[in-house]
């Protein structure tokens, strides 16, 4: 019976099976300080459509320092090779300076059209291109199937960027949600000054458990999973 279930699981993974919907809550740390909370939700819209949404807001005393609220939304569908973005919206609401990006993926024409900070954007993009939010799901899905690419094309800040990634060592990590064996990837910028890590828990259907961004001479920012509901 166990062998049959294992074979079924592998078969679903090989076919690029979509993950189960979830609501995940994270704490955002700057160094050792808890400065914000983030909520990421994956929901199914219809038989073929999905929405991934992330909302980040400052907590406690940090609300007096900054009123930044960041909302990211990606609508997409799943194909044989993984998630395929359709629309992406990034909105940062701030009393001093707002940031707004909206992109629509035209796969028939091989392009992305939209706006960034009020300026029109049109880019030719290769098949497999992702938006920044959907990258979190795509990498976990690729790790689960054992088909992680060495790089991912991502549309961000009005440009097509190439994100080269490499696997990190498997490690047991404690976060507020518990202790998990994590597998993940690391991306280092070309100048070596910025490093981003995405760490996933196979025990949680490859949900992102830790997302960390380090930059030379700046505080480390880290998201840690607090709770997940499926």
pLDDT at residue 46, as a whole number? 73
The predicted pLDDT at position 123 comes to 98
What CA–CA distance (Å, rounded) separates 16 from 12? 6
Q: Is residue 84 left, alpha or beta, with left meaning phi > 0 and alpha meaning psi from -120 to 50?
A: beta
Residue range 17-73, pLDDT digits in tens: 577 899 999 999 999 999 999 999 999 987 779 999 999 999 876 555 566 889 999
Q: Is the pTM of this model over 0.95?
A: no
Q: Name every residue whose Cβ is closer than 8 Å to that of residue 11 and which is 6 or more positions away in sequence.
A: none
Q: Which residues are CB-contacts of 107 (< 8 A; sequence separation ≥ 6)?
A: 84, 127
Helix-, strand-, coil-residue percentages of the chain, each rounded to 5: 15, 55, 30
Which of 81 and 205 is assigned the larger pLDDT? 205
Instruction: Give exposure, 12-51, as e/b (b: 16+ Cβ within 10 Å).
Output: eeeebebbeebebbbbbbeeeeebbbbebbbeeeeeeebb
- Output the pLDDT for position 199: 98
Res. 4 pLDDT band, cuts 50 70 90: very low
Task: State the Cα–Cα distance between residues 128 and 171, nearest whole angstrom.
Answer: 29
Give residue 11's pLDDT.
36
Q: How confident is the model at residue 6 (pLDDT cuts 50, 70, 90)?
A: very low
**Beta bridge partners of residue 166, listed in sequence order:** 186
**Average pLDDT, whole number, for the chain?**
89
């Amino acid at each position: 019976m166990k062998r049959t279930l294992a074979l079924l699981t592998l078969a679903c993974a090989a076919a690029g099976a979509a993950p189960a919907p979830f609501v995940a809550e994270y704490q955002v740390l700057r160094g050792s300080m808890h400065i914000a909370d983030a909520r990421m939700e994956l929901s199914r819209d219809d038989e073929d459509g999905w929405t991934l949404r992330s909302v980040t807001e400052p907590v406690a005393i940090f609300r007096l320092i900054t009123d930044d609220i960041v909302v990211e939304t990606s609508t997409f569908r799943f194909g044989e090779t993984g998630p395929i973005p359709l629309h992406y919206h990034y909105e940062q609401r701030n009393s001093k300076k707002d940031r707004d990006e909206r992109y629509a993926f035209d796969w028939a024409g091989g392009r992305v059209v939209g706006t960034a900070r009020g300026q029109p954007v049109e880019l030719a993009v290769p098949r497999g291109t992702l938006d920044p939010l959907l990258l979190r799901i795509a990498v976990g899905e690729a790790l689960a199937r054992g088909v992680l690419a060495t790089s991912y094309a991502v549309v961000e800040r009005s440009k097509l960027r190439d994100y080269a990634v490499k696997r990190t060592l498997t490690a047991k990590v404690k976060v507020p949600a518990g202790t998990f064996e994590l597998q993940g990837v690391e991306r280092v910028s070309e100048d070596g000054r910025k490093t981003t890590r995405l760490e996933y828990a196979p025990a949680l259907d490859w949900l992102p458990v830790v997302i960390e961004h380090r930059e030379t001479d700046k505080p480390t920012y880290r998201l840690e999973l607090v709770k997940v509901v499926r």
